[in-house]
């Protein structure tokens, strides 16, 4: 028997407003930058250099071997990977001080799940990485913002004062900062840590692009059990699509994260791929010097074009003096180039890509004018 199309009714489409969504999520929009198929994508701070063939082959072999046992659950403690991260970071760190997850966002989410939540607060100096606020909201915590000094940089005494007044449960310090690229001195980390009884997270996602003679916040971990330093493989390691982030902290801090993680949260394939990439750290990081060269070239050329450029220790450049960011963004897009409008009036942010990508961006911007 066939159905009668005349008797077929289609249920009306519903919206978020029709669902019993949490009140604090109503009216919100998901995080994300525009995704478009363009020749030059310089909008999400990826390492635009491909993974070297010899490394890709080794990763593929490691994943292939892991596939033979994918019927079994993975190592819940991802022991080999933690040992690899500890060796890579150095500073006398051991596996018991390492945590990892599916991207540094999930690492930070674990921290918030363990130490934040309803009735608690998280704090950051705006502008900073917008996911901090979203992650805090996701666990029901209030988000508090502090104010940086000139050039978006932080003064230790002023930063500590603001944190002491806000009395947050968690403080995010982005070093170097995203979206500004500005460096963060260890004096700020020390001062903020002393100003709070809460957790202090130093997000070093772009650490590999900073001057090599500048110390990492990893040097401050000893004797500071409320301090954690997070990293990612997405940037310098050109591993954004693999989604692997990690942190270093006191072993007790790491134990706290076990209380909130999902069982077997890192797949066997992810563990195999990341461990293989770490074995080739020197090769994977060879592009860093070239990226820094293009970043500095970009900064110098932007200044010559009349824009204001902020000091950057990252793989991107924030530049101001843009008369109409929306118009400039659209004009670059029409020329096949994506940059990021981060919502700071008069500013745009651009990733340092390959030499060819950087040239394409600079030539297009000079053609567009301001």
CA 273 vs CA 59, 155, 302, 304: distances in Å: 5, 40, 38, 43
Cα separation, 314 vs 236, whole angstroms: 10
Question: Are residue 242 and residue 299 in the same domain, yes or no?
Answer: no
Looking at residue 226, which CATH number applies to its domain?
3.40.640.10
Question: Are residue 206 and residue 247 in the same domain, yes or no?
Answer: yes
Residue 96, domain extent: 53-280
**Does residue 322 contact residue 370 with C-beta atoms inside 8 Å?**
yes
User: Does residue 255 form part of some domain?
Assistant: yes
Question: Are residue 151 and residue 294 in the same domain, yes or no?
Answer: no
Q: How many CB atoms lie within 10 A of CB 94?
A: 12
Question: Are residue 312 and residue 222 in the same domain, yes or no?
Answer: no
pLDDT tens per residue, range 189-233: 999 999 999 999 999 999 999 999 999 999 999 999 999 999 999
The residue to which tokens 């071997």 are assigned: 65
Question: Are residue 103 and residue 197 in the same domain, yes or no?
Answer: yes
Beta bridge partners of 122: 143, 170
Average pLDDT of the residues of the chain: 94
Question: Are residue 183 and residue 258 in the same domain, yes or no?
Answer: yes
pLDDT, residue 36, reads 81
Question: Are residue 170 and residue 229 in the same domain, yes or no?
Answer: yes
Cα separation, 26 vs 12, whole angstroms: 21
**Does residue 220 contact residue 247 with C-beta atoms inside 8 Å?**
no
Predicted structure pTM score: 0.93
Q: What is the 3-state secondary structure (H, E, C) of 236-267?
A: CCCCHHHCCEEEEECHHHHHHHHCCCCCCCCC
Cα separation, 85 vs 67, whole angstroms: 23
pLDDT tens per residue, range 86-117: 999 999 999 999 999 999 999 999 999 999 99
10: pLDDT strictly greater than 80: no
Question: Are residue 65 and residue 201 in the same domain, yes or no?
Answer: yes
User: What is the pLDDT averaged over residues 119-136?
Assistant: 97
Number of domains in the chain: 2
247, 280, 313 - which closes a domain: 280
User: Does residue 276 form part of some domain?
Assistant: yes
Q: Tell me the backbone φ, ψ of residue 51, rounded to 5 degrees.
A: -65, 130
């Amino acid at each position: 028997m066939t159905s009668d199309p005349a008797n077929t009714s289609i249920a009306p489409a519903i919206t978020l407003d029709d669902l019993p969504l949490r009140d604090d999520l109503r009216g919100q929009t998901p995080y994300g930058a525009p995704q478009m198929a363009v020749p030059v994508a310089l909008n999400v701070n990826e390492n635009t250099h491909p993974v070297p063939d010899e490394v890709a082959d080794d990763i593929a072999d490691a994943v292939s071997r892991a596939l033979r046992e994918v019927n079994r659950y993975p190592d819940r403690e991802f022991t080999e990977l933690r040992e690899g991260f500890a060796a890579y970071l150095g500073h006398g760190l051991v596996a018991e001080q390492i945590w990892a997850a599916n991207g540094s966002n999930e690492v930070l989410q674990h921290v918030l799940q363990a130490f934040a939540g309803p009735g608690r607060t998280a704090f950051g100096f705006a502008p900073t990485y917008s996911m901090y606020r979203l992650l805090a909201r996701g666990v029901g915590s209030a988000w508090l913002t502090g104010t940086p000094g000139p050039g978006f940089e932080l003064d230790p005494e002023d930063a500590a004062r603001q944190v002491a007044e806000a009395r947050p449960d968690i403080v995010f310090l982005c070093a170097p900062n995203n979206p500004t690229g500005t460096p963060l001195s260890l004096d700020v980390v020390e001062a903020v840590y002393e100003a709070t009884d809460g957790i202090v997270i130093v997000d070093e996602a772009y650490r590999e692009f900073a001057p090599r003679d500048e110390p990492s916040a990893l040097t401050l971990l000893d004797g500071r059990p409320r301090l954690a330093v997070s990293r990612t493989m997405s940037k310098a390691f050109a591993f954004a699509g693999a989604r692997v982030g990690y942190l270093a902290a006191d072993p007790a801090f790491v134990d706290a994260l076990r209380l909130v993680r999902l069982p077997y949260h890192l797949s066997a394939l992810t563990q195999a791929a990341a461990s293989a990439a770490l074995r080739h750290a020197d090769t994977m990081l060879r592009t860093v010097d070239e990226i820094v060269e293009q970043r500095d070239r970009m900064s110098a050329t932007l200044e010559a074009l009349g824009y204001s450029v902020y000091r950057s220790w990252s793989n991107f450049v924030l530049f101001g003096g843009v008369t109409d960011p929306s118009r400039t963004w659209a004009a670059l897009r029409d020329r096949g180039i994506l940059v990021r409008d981060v919502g700071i009036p008069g500013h745009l942010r651009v990733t340092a890509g390959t030499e060819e990508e950087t040239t394409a961006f600079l030539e297009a911007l000079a053609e567009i004018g301001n």
